[in-house]
Amino acid sequence: MRIVLLGAPGSGKGTQAKFLVEKHNIPHISTGDLLRGAIAAKTELGLAAKEVMDKGNLVSDDIVLGMLKERLGQDDAQKGFILDGFPRNLVQAEMLSELFTELSLSLDHALLIEVDPDEVVARIAKRAEIEGRSDDTEEVVRNRLNVYKEQTAPVADFYKKQDIVTEIMGTGSIEDVQARIEAALRF
């Protein structure tokens, strides 16, 4: 089962990814984790990423895709995986599609977790309070939601054209959302 999780920041993607990992015994692949791991391991791609990041720049899609390609080749990803944090825009979605073609893979599901923006702001404010995160102010969160709407939300349309998107209502209890996801994956 190969899944891409889509949704605004604070929609519950990380929480639901943990559930899917446990339920289906497939790895959760986060591009942020890949970057940190490659840098710590001092791989060729990790060193290239570190050099870019040390200059305050964003790591190129090519470097991230190279790390993703390496990760998808590992044994634990052979029966499936959950991608979280990639693709973030249409260019990345197209690059991922090309990578899947190269690796003879196909995406089974794109799960779009939908949550009202005001609910997202409330959730992240609560998370900021619990975790003591100063970067989760309402202004910052609303800006992240605008970036999501402009850059990441169109990725859902890309996958809708492939008829693999399932919209999941991300409100209610964590268990309610899990049940909706499991129902969607049974198809």
Query: Token digits for 131?
Result: 């975790």
* Residue 36 annotated as catalytic: no
* Residue 142 annotated as catalytic: no
Q: Which of 18, 133, 149, 160 is catalytic?
A: 133
* Residue 133 annotated as catalytic: yes
How far does Cα 18 stand from its chain's mean position? 12
Q: Where are the alpha helices (DSSP H) in 73-107?
A: 90-102
Q: Which of 2, 71, 123, 144 is catalytic?
A: 144
Query: Token digits for 157?
Result: 């349309």
Q: Which of 13, 71, 123, 180 is catalytic?
A: 13
* Residue 180 annotated as catalytic: no
Residue 7 has a CB neighbour count (10 Å cut-off) of 24
CA dist., res. 23 & res. 10, Å (int): 22
Catalytic residues: 13, 88, 127, 133, 144
